[in-house]
Structure 1
Amino acid sequence: MVDVLRRHNVMVGGCGHKALLLGHGFGTDQRAWRRIRPWAERHFLTIGFDFAGSGGDGSGYDGFRHGSLAGFSEDLLDILDAFGIERCAYVGHGSGAMAGVLAGILEPGRFERMVLLAPSACGVDRGRYRSGIDAVTMRRMIACMTINYAAWSREFAALAVDAPPASPETAEVASCLAAVRPDVAFRLAAMAFQSDLRGWIDDFEVPAVLVHGEGDPLVPPEAAEHLRSLWPFAESEVLAVSSHLPQLTAPDLVVGVLAKHLKDVARA
């Protein structure tokens, strides 16, 4: 248990009988939830953590295990096992959202409900699927990481939050990226952008809410529509934001979604 908690820098707060796990996406670490946690901790035993390779020196990153999102889904289940949590709610963003989906397919009984922010089944455009990033742009993006990681971090952060480079939100994401070892960041980016879960996630049956920003620069509406077509039982929420990280740029809107869709879970 100690090794798992240390490896993922697990931070626990709040109260209540129900556990809520917060899983960040690529480019951030658990600090991305800091504007959400005050609400979460009033209603749940709230567990924040850093996925392998994020938020530290990369010592918890295993190139083989974490070569795909499946390894990150196993990390989620390991954290639940470490606390002896049999059932929880999960809020995930980006690649962290999709890692949650894979964990939910492996062990659906462990998750009462999921709120998935900016999820996408595929990292780049493939055939008729539109992810928001074409293969050429993805290759250029990853190449830029190897040339000047610090400059790339600032540019990617500004793109993700749709804000000027000098904005506090841009600086916050850039700080998260700066905490990742550049070689690990390169591998995480390649894994995230090259992931293709189409055909693997059709059997997902955990009650879920799909949350998309209407102007998300990295995940277009088509990505949400694809998942809705796979999971007709899932609910949808569209936020009037142009950021890929509404938990940072529009936390009140995200809290509103959580309060709406998790209130029954918190009371159960």
Structure 2
Amino acid sequence: MQTKKVVSVLLAGVTTLSMAMPVLAANGDPNLVVTPDTLYSTPIEANSSVTLGLMPANAYYQRTGFDSEDAAKSGLKVDSINAGKGKIIENYAYGAKETADGWAGTVTITGAAGQYGPASLHIVNTNNTSAGIDMTVYVESAEDVADATGVTVKVKDCHNDTGMKVDGEDLTVAKAKGNSGNPFSNSEGAAQTYPTAGDALYSLMKEGEISFTQYGGYVSEISDTDGNKLSGYSSEDYTEYYGWYYCVIDGEGSKANIVEGSDIVSASVLPVDDNDTVVWAFGTEDEANNYFDEVLSAK
């Protein structure tokens, strides 16, 4: 599903509006946000590590920072792994760095040998553990990963009655690297070295059935050959979001299952395997989940 994009966009907007307002450091502030140089979805090169920067923020998501280097060094903790256990080594190095917004804590994460794919981590402020954030890291593969074959891709409008409904079967899904026509190729926030659920959408695009745009690894718009074009938007009171959500249904075994992590990380970092079904639905999260359940029950 694509819920992380909504959070990212809202936070970016709030931060921009509040840049000119002075703020004071407060170790226990109610929110935890990234430093400007840290992505919500960050690649780890094969056999390597990545360092994330995080800092406290006030109720308006203005960065306030820790009040000292020592506070920053002890201010973060990886509380849990939401998905992708085994993709990373669960031995984290904590540190600090000074930024234009104050002191930030750092967490260095190392990919596990021989692994590829995403891990979602819940990181908290040790001074206020209700101030937490979900961060995604994805491990790039050290070796060539075979194309996924026999993949089914479904796209459906579940909200606007446009009639958009496109199905593709027995598709081959290749990694983004070296595939210049793929919108995810060389894109920030998108895995390059293994086939993903996002790349599966490109496989349907190559069939001439759809086109799509993406930003930072998240699908923002899908169009069909009938001229329908659906992009994410919020209700006037910002209480509901309508956008593209996805899930992956495992094609292995006698019982179909939703693949771990497809409701947490972006499609552009989640690996897709032979015989998987990748389902894209436009609407609210509830409308999308209802369609996912419908497809799952039919397997």
TM beyond 0.5: no
Higher strand share: 2
For the pair shown, the structure with the greater C-alpha radius of gyration is 2
Q: TM-score range by the shorter chain?
A: under 0.3
Higher relative contact order (CA 8 A, sep 6+): 1
Q: Which has the higher helix share?
A: 1
Per the normalisation by structure 2, the TM-score is 0.25
Normalization by structure 1: what TM-score? Answer: 0.27
